[in-house]
């Protein structure tokens, strides 16, 4: 897949550009402009092709109706110097006013967005000739400005960031040689699709976090007060049938930062396993060292608390030091790699979280399916 944004496809057109400006925010402050800097070259390139209108569309946070703190005015102020002609509009029909470059207010202020209401799709598509979809991270959502418009737009294209992310994942998954998946995180139920896919793709799956706790519980080991997904025991037992591929922790770190050994369980009734232990780190590092491709998602323990970061950091370093091709995705695991300043030692880092996992698990995204369902053939518009 290559992006076909070119002068012919854009010139004199009214273009809707769907991007992800969901910049990380804490206490009202934007923490990183990285997502904007990724989008800006695409905007500049498209402007150079002289569209009639270029309407930038994004969500921001999870507002319930209008909430001032989630207004794109906060972002507009920060990007004004890069795009001085940009005007913020409240609804897409406001783009008929003078001017070329517009930023539509947070699409999630409109309650029709999340249910992909037909009247909203009609509103969008009545104002534009071409939709350029460049927000991989929300491609798994069946929302109006994602699936909705892409399934009905008369002309559509995928943007360069979308294609870059898709290709990076495709290339990593297609690599030959030995493959290790490292899956961790809080709940097994949310990671089941990716676990199932990894059972096919990987030679070994190293498991940590609440997922490992739940698998150990299903194997009959009592982890006392640890995070266990009790609703997923049946699924966990099913996964354990493929035990030859699954590598479980052999020890952990409890709430008092003491090592607990799972073989001869020395756990107290009040114990909670909050990280993988040193023997597990060594065991996992051996597998990582022998792999040619490593795919990692999810911190190995309760990473938000600095007392329980060791396991995640040891795994991150083991991957960084190995010669394996390494791809990593998911908010929390990416944060761990950034904290250690070892980003450059990974071959691909995805900040797409849910969409990253969805695409790997299912080999597609609703936004890609939307295009297949669209009656207009892609070839017609790019040829
Ligand atoms: P990601 O965002 O990387 O995809 P998840 O959101 O599924 O991963 O899981 C991350 C969360 O799981 C973090 O909040 C982390 O603190 C928590 N977690 C991981 N292991 C444990 C554990 N043993 N006990 C409690 N919480 C854990
Ligand atoms: Mg998370």
* CATH superfamily, with its number, for domain 175-351: Phosphoglycerate kinase, N-terminal domain (3.40.50.1260)
Q: How far is the CA of 331 from the centre of ligand 2 (A)?
A: 6
Q: To test the ligand 1 pocket, which listed residue (182, 302, 329) has its Cβ within 8 A of the most ligand atoms?
A: 302
**Which residue has its alpha carbon closest to ligand 1 atom 16?**
302
Task: With cut-offs at 50, 70 and 90, classify the pLDDT of residue 377.
Answer: low
Ligand 1 pocket member 186 (CB < 6 A): yes
CA distance 297 to 287: 16
Class of residue 7 by CB neighbours under 10 A (exposed 0-12, middle 13-18, buried 19+): exposed
Ligand positioned closest to the Cα atom of 249: 1
Q: Is the pLDDT of residue 116 over 80?
A: yes
Ligand 1 pocket member 151 (CB < 6 A): no
CA angle 329/334/338 to nearest 5° reads: 150
Q: Is the pLDDT of residue 1 over 90?
A: no
Which carries the bigger pLDDT value, residue 80 or residue 377?
Answer: 80
Q: Which is the closest atom of ligand 1 to the Cα of 334?
A: 3
Whose structure tokens read 């050994």? Answer: 261
Q: What is the mean pLDDT of the chain?
A: 94
Note the helical H segments in 269-349: 278-290, 310-321, 331-339
Ligand 1 pocket member 274 (CB < 6 A): yes
Does residue 183 contact residue 159 with C-beta atoms inside 8 Å? no
DSSP label of 49: T
Please state which of the four CATH numbers 3.40.640.10, 3.40.50.10860, 3.40.50.1260, 3.40.50.1360 is assigned to the domain occupying 7-162+365-382.
3.40.50.1260
Segment 43-59 shows an average pLDDT of: 98
Does residue 55 contact residue 95 with C-beta atoms inside 8 Å? yes
Q: How far is the CA of 254 from the centre of ligand 1 (A)?
A: 15
Give the pLDDT confidence score for residue 383 in this predicted structure: 38
Give the pLDDT confidence score for residue 265 in this predicted structure: 77
Does residue 70 contact residue 106 with C-beta atoms inside 8 Å? yes
Q: Is the pLDDT of residue 382 over 50?
A: no
Task: With cut-offs at 50, 70 and 90, classify the pLDDT of residue 2.
Answer: low
Give the pLDDT confidence score for residue 375 in this predicted structure: 73
Ligand 1 pocket member 252 (CB < 6 A): no
Ligand positioned closest to the Cα atom of 328: 1
Domain locations in the chain as residue ranges: 7-162+365-382, 175-351
Q: How far is CA 147 from CA 109, 182, 239, 364, 374, in A?
A: 17, 30, 32, 13, 10
Does residue 350 contact residue 373 with C-beta atoms inside 8 Å? no
CA distance 48 to 42: 10
CATH topology agreement for domains 7-162+365-382 and 175-351: yes
Ligand positioned closest to the Cα atom of 298: 1
Task: With cut-offs at 50, 70 and 90, classify the pLDDT of residue 378.
Answer: low
Reported as type and span, the H/E element at residue 356 is helix 354-362
Dihedral sign from CA coordinates of 142, 114, 164, 370 = positive
Does residue 260 contact residue 224 with C-beta atoms inside 8 Å? no
């Amino acid at each position: 897949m290559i992006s076909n944004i070119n002068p012919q496809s854009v010139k004199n057109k009214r273009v809707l550009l769907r991007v992800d400006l969901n910049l990380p925010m804490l206490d009202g402050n934007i923490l990183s402009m990285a997502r904007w800097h990724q989008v800006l070259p695409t905007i500049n390139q498209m402007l150079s092709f002289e569209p009639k209108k270029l309407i930038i569309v994004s969500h921001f946070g999870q507002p319930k109706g209008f909430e001032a703190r989630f207004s794109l005015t906060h972002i507009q102020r920060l990007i004004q110097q890069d795009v001085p002609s940009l005007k913020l509009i409240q609804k897409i029909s406001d783009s008929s006013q003078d001017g070329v470059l517009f930023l539509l207010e947070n699409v999630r202020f409109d309650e029709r967005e999340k249910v992909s209401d037909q009247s909203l799709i009609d509103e969008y598509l009545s104002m534009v000739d071409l939709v350029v979809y460049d927000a991989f991270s929300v491609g798994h959502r069946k929302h109006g400005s994602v699936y909705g418009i892409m399934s009905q737009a008369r002309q559509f294209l995928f943007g360069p960031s979308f294609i870059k992310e898709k290709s990076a994942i495709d290339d990593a998954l297609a690599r030959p040689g030995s493959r290790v998946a490292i899956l961790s995180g809080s709940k097994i139920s949310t990671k089941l699709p990716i676990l199932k896919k990894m059972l096919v793709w990987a030679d070994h799956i190293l498991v940590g976090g609440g997922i490992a706790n739940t698998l150990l519980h299903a194997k009959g080991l009592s982890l006392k007060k640890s995070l266990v997904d009790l609703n997923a025991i049946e699924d966990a037992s099913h996964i354990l049938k493929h035990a030859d591929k699954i590598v479980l922790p052999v020890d952990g770190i409890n709430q008092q930062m003491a090592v607990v050994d799972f073989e001869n369980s020395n756990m107290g009734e009040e114990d909670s396993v909050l990280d993988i232990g040193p023997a597990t780190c060594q065991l996992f590092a051996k597998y990582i060292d022998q792999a040619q491709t490593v795919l990692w998602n999810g911190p190995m323990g309760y990473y938000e608390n600095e007392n329980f970061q060791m396991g995640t950091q040891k795994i991150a370093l083991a991957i960084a030091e190995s010669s394996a091709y390494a791809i990593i995705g998911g908010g929390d695991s990416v944060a761990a790699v950034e904290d250690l300043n070892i980003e450059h030692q990974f071959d691909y880092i995805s900040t797409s979280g849910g969409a990253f996992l969805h695409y790997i698990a299912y080999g597609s995204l609703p936004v890609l399916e939307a295009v297949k369902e669209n009656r207009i053939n892609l070839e017609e518009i790019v040829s």
